[in-house]
Structure 1
């Protein structure tokens, strides 16, 4: 009787009924949660053992990678690092340039005149010759005698203009002299270049003149080229010499003569002086003053 056993059809029906019973017991009554937890704990070592071959294969592949391939990867990463550093330097340079341009634009708003931003192409700061070349010329409306400023103060004036570039004589050149006045008390004098990028000399200051270290010098406007009120320099030294009938006064330019990258070309001349400047009349020098 038992040798024959149930028929296949009966076995299938019994298996289906048992499966449905287990599904209902698990879904509605959660009877199999404990059994599932116990089984998962029991087979966990088997899952770990099954994943080990894949990890072992990856480890062996890494160990078998040739030194040449590793060097190639390192070289490639090194090149990418250099490229990224170069781009970072460009970004830093652009940020600095944008900062300088913002300073110039802020200065132009303070000036309140028509202005043009120009870039310095070359610099000559040798003794007895202090001038720069800018990338704007007559095609942009630049004219001889035109005032030139940086973001801080007066730098010089145009002495030669070509269609695409211009030469600017700096206020520190030995051939340049600029009428100025002390902002504190209105005392007028002449600021002459000394050939040093950080020094101007005030000419013909009487011994009883009220000049103090720290006084701000501004343009007086008496030369017909620079309008009045532009900052020029600050007094750094006042010295009395018995052998000299005048007081020796030294001032430092407020403009960054040796560091500026961009400058402002300013249109400030009135109708009376504009034709002389456009005709190329040379700027006043120390002797002309």
Structure 2
């Protein structure tokens, strides 16, 4: 021990013994290493899955809110006055997944995984990252049924962003096409114009993107132009939607679709339907929310 301590004569012997013992130490520690590595891999995988789901949900919420900002940047002093009004309406969103889809030409409806226990109410607007999707038609305890804007019985008060012209976006049964009704041939409507919600009717907030004009025809002698628009929300491909709440809905009674009369297609030459009665009640005729 004295020789080893002072002159390091046994260093080589200790190195040889350590080399011989190392495989035994490694083999004894191997199960612990394997368990730790497996646990780390599993934990990392689960963490990534949870983080990915959280980021996707947050991204969808932010995209839904960004829809309004794009519209606000294109407006003038009149829109800034509207912004002052809409800023007092605090909107909240909740993500809902589609459980089933019914894209029958005469019935454009989807089933959502949110219901009465999640505070969903009839008439509640639905959007996604691209634009307006529809509104809730029926509410059940654990799920709800929503009507898409492409349903033939659905009419949505909208306006042309470039000119401010107010009109109605009517469903056609085709998820890729809407009709803009009651536009005189003399009005300035062009292919490519953006169509936004007007806020009239009290259900959909103003300035949410709805569609883009893709066809304009002015038949000779016709009272109204034929204007078609493509929905921006990709109604036939969406898997998740956003349910909108606002302070206005918390203060006012919940709108109801119960007892709504079936929508009637206006005859050529007839006057446009009234969006709201003089008493401030629900929209009449083919107003927003008719089913």
Match of 2:118 in 1: 140
Alignment of 1:247-258 (within 5 A): 247-258=225-236
Residue range with higher mean Cα deviation, 215-224 or 237-246: 237-246
Give the direction of change, closer, same or farther, for the CA distance of 1:272–1:280 in structure 2 (3 Å limit): farther
Give the direction of change, closer, same or farther, for the CA distance of 1:195–1:279 in structure 2 (3 Å limit): closer
Equivalenced residue count is 201
Match of 2:215 in 1: 237
Unaligned runs of 5+ in 2: 1-44, 69-89, 265-284
Other structure's SS at 2:101 match: strand
Contact persistence 2:175–2:235 (CA under 8 A): yes
Match of 2:103 in 1: 125
Match of 1:104 in 2: 60
Q: Given the alignment of the two structures, is residue 113 of structure 1 paired with residue 91 of structure 2, yes or no?
A: yes
> Displacement of 1:244 after TM fit?
2.5
Other structure's SS at 1:119 match: strand
1:164 corresponds, among 136, 142, 150, to 142
Contact persistence 1:159–1:282 (CA under 8 A): no
Q: Which has the higher helix share?
A: 1
Contact persistence 2:137–2:257 (CA under 8 A): no
Q: Given the alignment of the two structures, is residue 174 of structure 1 paired with residue 152 of structure 2, yes or no?
A: yes
Match of 1:201 in 2: 179
Other structure's SS at 2:138 match: strand
Q: Report runs of 4+ in structure 1 exceeding 2 Å deviation.
A: 93-103, 107-112, 271-274, 278-289
Q: Given the alignment of the two structures, is residue 270 of structure 1 paired with residue 248 of structure 2, yes or no?
A: yes
- RMSD (Å), alpha carbons: 3.0
TM-score by length of 1: 0.62
> Displacement of 1:128 after TM fit?
1.1
Other structure's SS at 2:60 match: helix
TM-score by length of 2: 0.62
**Cα deviation 1:47-102 (Å, max 9, x = unaligned):** xxxxxxxxxxxxxxxxxxxxxxxxxxxxxxxxxxxxxxxxx9xxxx9999677534
Unaligned runs of 5+ in 1: 1-87
Rg comparison, structure with higher value: 1
Other structure's SS at 1:105 match: helix
Contact persistence 2:122–2:254 (CA under 8 A): no
- Separation (CA, whole Å) in 2 of partners of 1:159 and 1:97: 28
